[in-house]
């Protein structure tokens, strides 16, 4: 199995077996799987650009696997002054963001023993899930009383009179019984079995394969249900099975069609992919409520839905800002996150901020009657050490409407990011909401 690792927007040429290239036949297989992803887009190159001499990663990260080859794409998550972070650091940071966004139980102790250098993001996530699930199973698999109908030689439970006198009228040696039995064959365990079944096809690491085999034996009495037929709505989580809540989040991640795609046809493989623009947006949206706790402000993600134009009564061009901050019913701030690399001001006075993004935020300011809008970018190693927060007057130099261009350093623990978001929003809202 050939394994290669790329960064966002990096290229890998076609060649032989050296670490800086990939055999062309394997590159074709990887590109075929990538083109079938939900993120591939209309042209089929939203994940990978399939050129004549190389593959080029785009703004989607994760793992793509085909026969004989795995390609891992890592995000460029850099800290202040950090130019060339190690792949291990990037995997750690990506999994940390995924943990926050998808409610995955990833603590410092779990992350310290995962094998960051030898395995891909997919294998690390599988290992986390396997360890948690094995621990939970050892403590006892959840069970529920389920109603059963069976024909038995002696009465168990209560007699089903209708079935008894229709089916067994001629052969009364059997009794039509209806009884409750404590069974593990419930919706929660069916989801876990479906996750185990899928991961057995994906895992490459020997320890993951071994643990998944052991788990499959533990779930042998649970019905193997197709993923599309799983009844997530029947899963009941209460104080008796609270430890399974995090495992359900893990299973949802592995079984979700949005992130996991198993392909078929002439080229067989799979992909676990995440769009970094969406991941960054969701990460900020998860942390902002914690940053604003106790302030009386409320965070709404992907809300608003106001139309730009009207044709009679019909609205056109509906807007959906990434994050809206409200005080009561009043919109006090609109934030649009952008997973793009700002340039140092010495290279570009506009710092790489797109004119289209500025127009979009100006439209939000008008539509939502909000004088305070923000473009939020990730900080990176080529920028000055301190996070950026530049305020621009909209439309006129003495305008009261402000567009902020800011950065967030997404390295380190999420508690630090919460603190940074708290300081950032406080700074930008101070002139509109005096203490």
pLDDT in tens, the chain (435 residues): 888 899 999 999 998 667 788 888 888 889 888 888 888 876 777 889 988 889 999 989 999 988 888 999 999 898 888 878 888 889 989 999 998 998 887 765 556 666 666 788 889 999 989 988 999 999 888 888 777 787 888 878 688 888 877 777 777 788 888 877 788 888 999 999 999 998 998 888 899 999 999 999 999 989 999 988 999 988 888 777 778 888 998 899 888 765 545 444 556 788 888 999 999 999 999 999 999 998 889 998 877 778 888 878 787 888 888 999 998 888 999 999 999 988 876 666 777 788 888 999 999 888 888 889 999 999 988 888 888 888 888 888 888 888 999 999 999 889 999 999 999 998 888 766 654
Chain-centre distance of CA 373, in angstroms?
26
Reference 196, options 216, 222, 174; nearest CA is 216
301: β partners: 323
151 touches 175 (CB < 8 A) = yes
Distance CA 336, CA 148 (A): 54
Least Cα distance to 61 among 76, 50, 51 occurs for 76
Phi, psi of 175 (to 5 degrees): -110, 130
pLDDT at 266: 58
Q: Which of 79, 86, 94 is nearest to 382 (CA)?
A: 79
Under a CB-based contact definition with an 8 Å cutoff, are residues 212 and 254 in contact?
A: no
CB atoms within 10 A of CB 195: 27
Question: Distances in Å between the alpha carbon of 363 and those of 307, 332, 335?
Answer: 10, 15, 12
Cα distance between residue 2 and residue 23, in whole Å? 9
- Coil, strand, or helix at residue 307? strand
CB 176 within 8 A of CB 155: no
Q: What is the pTM of this model?
A: 0.85
123, 142 in Cβ contact below 8 A?
Answer: no
Distance, first Cα to last Cα, the chain: 61
Residues 6+ apart with CB under 8 A from 313: none
Distances in whole angstroms, Cα of residue 21 to Cα of each of 12, 55, 224: 5, 10, 41
Write out the two tokens for 233.
């709505």
Tokens of 414: 């999420």
Structure tokens at 100: 């926050």
Assign residue 63 a region (left: φ > 0; alpha: ψ between -120 and 50; beta: otherwise).
beta
């Amino acid at each position: 199995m050939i394994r290669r690792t790329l960064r966002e927007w990096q290229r890998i040429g076609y060649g032989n077996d050296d670490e800086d290239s990939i055999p062309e036949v394997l590159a074709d297989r990887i590109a075929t799987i990538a083109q079938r992803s939900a993120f591939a887009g209309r042209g089929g190159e939203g994940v990978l650009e399939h050129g004549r001499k190389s593959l080029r990663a785009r703004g989607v990260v994760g793992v793509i696997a085909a026969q004989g080859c795995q390609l891992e794409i890592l995000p460029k998550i850099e800290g202040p002054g950090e130019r060339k972070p190690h792949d291990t650091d990037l995997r750690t940071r990506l999994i940390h963001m995924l943990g926050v966004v998808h409610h995955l139980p990833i603590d410092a102790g779990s992350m310290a023993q995962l094998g960051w250098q030898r395995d891909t993001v997919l294998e690390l996530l599988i290992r986390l899930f396997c360890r948690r699930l094995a621990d939970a199973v050892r403590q006892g698999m959840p069970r529920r009383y389920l109603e059963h109908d069976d024909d038995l030689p002696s009465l168990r439970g209560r007699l089903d009179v209708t079935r008894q006198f229709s089916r067994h009228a001629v052969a009364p040696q059997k009794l039509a019984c209806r009884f409750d039995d404590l069974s593990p064959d419930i919706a929660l365990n069916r989801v876990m079995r479906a996750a185990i079944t899928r991961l057995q096809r994906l895992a490459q690491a020997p320890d993951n394969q071994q643990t998944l085999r052991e788990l499959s034996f533990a779930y042998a009495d649970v019905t193997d249900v197709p993923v599309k037929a799983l009844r997530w709505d029947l899963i009941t989580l209460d104080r008796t099975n609270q430890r399974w809540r995090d495992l359900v989040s893990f299973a949802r991640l592995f079984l979700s069609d949005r992130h996991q795609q198993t392909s078929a046809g002439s080229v067989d493989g799979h992909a676990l992919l995440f769009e970094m623009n969406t991941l960054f947006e969701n990460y900020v949206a998860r942390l902002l409520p914690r940053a604003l706790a106790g302030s009386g402000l409320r965070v709404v993600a992907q809300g608003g839905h106001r139309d730009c134009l009207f044709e009679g009564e019909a609205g056109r061009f509906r807007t959906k800002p990434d994050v809206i901050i409200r005080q009561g019913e009043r919109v006090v701030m609109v934030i649009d996150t952008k997973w793009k690399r700002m340039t140092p001001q010495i290279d570009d006075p506009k710092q790489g901020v797109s004119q289209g993004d500025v127009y979009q935020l100006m439209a939000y300011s008008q539509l939502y009657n909000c004088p305070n809008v923000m473009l939020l970018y990730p900080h990176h190693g080529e920028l000055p050490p301190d996070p950026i927060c530049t305020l621009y007057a909209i439309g006129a130099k003495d305008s009261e409407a402000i567009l902020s261009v800011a950065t967030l350093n997404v390295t380190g623990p999420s508690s630090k990011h919460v603190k940074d978001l708290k300081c950032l929003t406080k700074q930008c809202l101070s002139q509109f909401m005096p203490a």
